[in-house]
């Protein structure tokens, strides 16, 4: 059975600095994936290779003015370069991998991802090659263009390929009752279901720079099934991803039970 992994932009890049790749961390995470011996599919975020210009030019609102066009082209170039670096680290770790550029394969309609042809991804998997997808600017039938996030891709891949587990690798230990970066008494949730998430959403602001850990947990809950859990794990903690993939107990937050 396959495990679907997202390497978050907060881990593989420094989100505060334009086009800054955390090569040492990515190299270690790739080695941990390899050492686990698990079959995987991988998605990664855009981090500082995408978010900086996308926010500056309001790309996710769609086409508004001509000044956005050079920014779209630059973002597409930057995230493909980031993807090449991630794929290079995977190959160096002994994981045969290939880039599958989201914006070249898929379209959106009013920000809904349309995944009409999964054959290339399936055939790479059948050959034993790991497809690597990533957050990207995608043409949109209604808006002209929009941002397709790594989390959106994860949801579609989970529907299509039915992984045994879904893993989100981030720069925090999991979901807290408060923002752990600003509140020292924040408490980590070991498990989250729809009821717990509603309580957190009502009481506290735990947003991060990409739209919120809550939104990520909602996405994770949508990917849960009767037998499948989704886990948020800190990729900055050495060995933690490897232990998770091996089935060992670690510090993390596990989403269970689906969304309601």
Tokens 């949508």 belong to which residue? 222
In this prediction, residue 99 carries a pLDDT of 97
Alpha-carbon gap, residue 174 to 256, rounded angstroms: 14
How high is the pLDDT of residue 208? 39
Beta carbons of 181 and 238 less than 8 angstroms apart:
no
Give me the CATH topology for the region 165-260. Carbamate kinase (3.40.1160)
Q: Do 165-260 and 1-163 fall under one CATH topology?
A: yes
Q: Count CA within 13 A, CB hemisphere, residue 175.
A: 30
The residues spanned by each domain of the chain are 1-163, 165-260
Specify the pLDDT at position 129.
Answer: 97
Q: What is the pLDDT of residues 40-66, one digit of tens each?
A: 999 999 999 999 999 999 999 999 999
pLDDT-flagged residues of the chain (< 70): 201-212, 260
Q: Measured between alpha carbons, how far is 208 from 9 in angstroms, rounded to an integer?
A: 12
The domain made up of 1-163 has a fold known as: Carbamate kinase (3.40.1160)
For 89-131, the DSSP string reads: HHHHTT--EEE--HHHH-EEETTEEE----HHHHHHHHTT-EE
d(CA 212, CA 215): 5
Helix 194-203 and helix 213-222: axis angle, to 10°? 160
Tell me how crowded residue 254 is: count the other CB atoms within 10 A of its CB.
20
The pLDDT assigned to 243 comes to 98
């Amino acid at each position: 059975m396959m495990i679907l992994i997202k390497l978050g932009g907060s881990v593989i890049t420094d989100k505060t600095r334009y086009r800054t790749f955390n090569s040492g961390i990515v190299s270690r995470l790739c080695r941990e994936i390899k050492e686990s011996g698990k079959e995987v599919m991988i998605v990664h975020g855009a981090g500082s290779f995408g978010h900086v210009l996308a926010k500056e030019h309001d790309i996710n609102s769609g086409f508004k003015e001509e000044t956005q066009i050079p920014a779209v082209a630059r973002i597409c170039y930057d995230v493909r370069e980031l993807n090449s670096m991630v794929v290079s680290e995977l190959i160096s770790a002994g994981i045969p991998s290939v880039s599958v550029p989201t914006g070249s394969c898929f379209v959106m309609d009013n920000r809904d991802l349309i995944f009409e042809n999964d054959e290339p991804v399936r055939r790479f998997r059948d050959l034993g090659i790991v497809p690597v997808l990533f957050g990207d600017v995608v043409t949109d039938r209604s808006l002209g263009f929009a941002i397709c996030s790594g989390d959106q891709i994860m949801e579609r891949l989970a529907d299509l390929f039915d992984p045994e587990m879904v893993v989100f690798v981030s720069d925090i230990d999991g979901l807290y009752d408060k923002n752990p970066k600003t509140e020292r008494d924040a408490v980590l949730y070991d498990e989250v279901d729809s009821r717990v998430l509603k309580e957190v959403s009502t009481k506290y602001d735990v947003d991060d720079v990409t739209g919120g850990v809550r939104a990520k947990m909602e996405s994770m809950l949508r990917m849960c099934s009767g037998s499948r859990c989704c886990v948020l794990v800190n990729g900055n903690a050495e060995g933690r991803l490897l232990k998770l993939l091996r089935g060992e107990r670690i510090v993390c937050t596990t989403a269970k039970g689906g969304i309601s």
